[in-house]
Amino acid sequence: MEARHDLQTINQDYPKPISAPPPPISKDIEVRRAMEASSKSSLFNLTRDDILYEDEWLMAVNKPKGIYCEAVLASAPRALLVAHSSNEYHLANRLDRDTSGVMLITKSHKVAAKLVKAFTEHKIRKSYIALSIGPSPNWSKITIRSGHGRSKHGAWRVYAALDVGRVLPGGSVVRDMETTFELVSVNGEKLEPSKEESMVVVEGEPEFGCNGNEDVVVVRAFPRSGRTHQIRLHCQYLGIPIRGDVKYHGVYVWRGRSLEGHELHAESLSLDHPVTGDPIVIRAPLPCWAAGDGSYNG
Helix extents (H) in 76-123: 109-120
Residue 161 CB coordination number (10 Å): 19
Rg, the chain, Cα only? 20
Mean pLDDT over 10-17 rounds to: 81
| Residue % of the chain over a pLDDT of 70 | 91
230: enclosing H helix or E strand = helix 230-238
Q: Which of 17-21, 54-58, 206-210 has the lowest mean pLDDT?
A: 206-210
Prediction pTM value: 0.91
75: pLDDT strictly greater than 70:
yes
pLDDT more than 90, % of the chain = 74
Q: Catalytic: 272?
A: no
Q: Is the model's pLDDT at 80 over the cut of 90?
A: no
Contacts of 51 (CB under 8 A, 6+ apart): 59, 60, 61, 62, 79, 81
Fold classification of 16-284 is: Pseudouridine synthase (3.30.2350)
Q: Which residue has the higher pLDDT, 226 or 263?
A: 263
- The pLDDT score that the predictor gives to residue 3 is 47
pLDDT at residue 298 greater than cutoff 50: no
pLDDT at 8: 46
* pLDDT at residue 159 tops 70: yes
Tell me how crowded residue 55 is: count the other CB atoms within 10 A of its CB.
15
* Structure confidence at residue 5 (pLDDT): 43
- Give residue 197's pLDDT band: very low, low, confident or very high (50, 70, 90): confident
* 216 or 194: which leads in pLDDT: 216
Task: Assess contact for 147 and 203: CB atoms under 8 A.
Answer: no
Q: Which residues pair with 144 in a beta bridge?
A: 179, 200
Average pLDDT over the chain, rounded to whole?
Answer: 90
Give residues with Cβ within 8 angstroms of 266, minimum separation 6: 63, 95, 99, 100, 101, 102, 103, 126, 128, 284
Choosing from 28, 55, 96, 98, the catalytic residue is 96
Domain ranges of the chain: 16-284
Q: What is the mean pLDDT of residues 225-241?
A: 95
Query: Which segments within 107-203 are labelled E, that is strand?
Result: 125-134, 141-149, 157-159, 175-186, 189-190, 198-201
- What average pLDDT does range 239-262 have in this prediction? 95
DSSP H/E element including 217: strand 215-223
Burial-class residue 158 by CB neighbours within 10 Å (0-12, 13-18, 19+). Answer: buried
Q: pLDDT digits over 119-156, tens only?
A: 988 899 999 999 999 999 989 999 999 999 998 888 99
Mean pLDDT, rounded, for 62-88: 85
pLDDT of residue 296: 56
pLDDT given at position 208 = 60
pLDDT at residue 11, rounded to an integer: 54
pLDDT digits (tens, 9 = 90+) for 14-32: 999 999 999 999 999 999 9
Of 50, 49, 131, residue with least CA distance to 98: 131
The yes-or-no verdict on residue 84 having pLDDT over 50 is yes
Distances (CA, A) of 194 to 61, 91, 172, 187, 197: 31, 35, 38, 18, 8
Strand 157-159 and strand 189-190: the pairing is unpaired
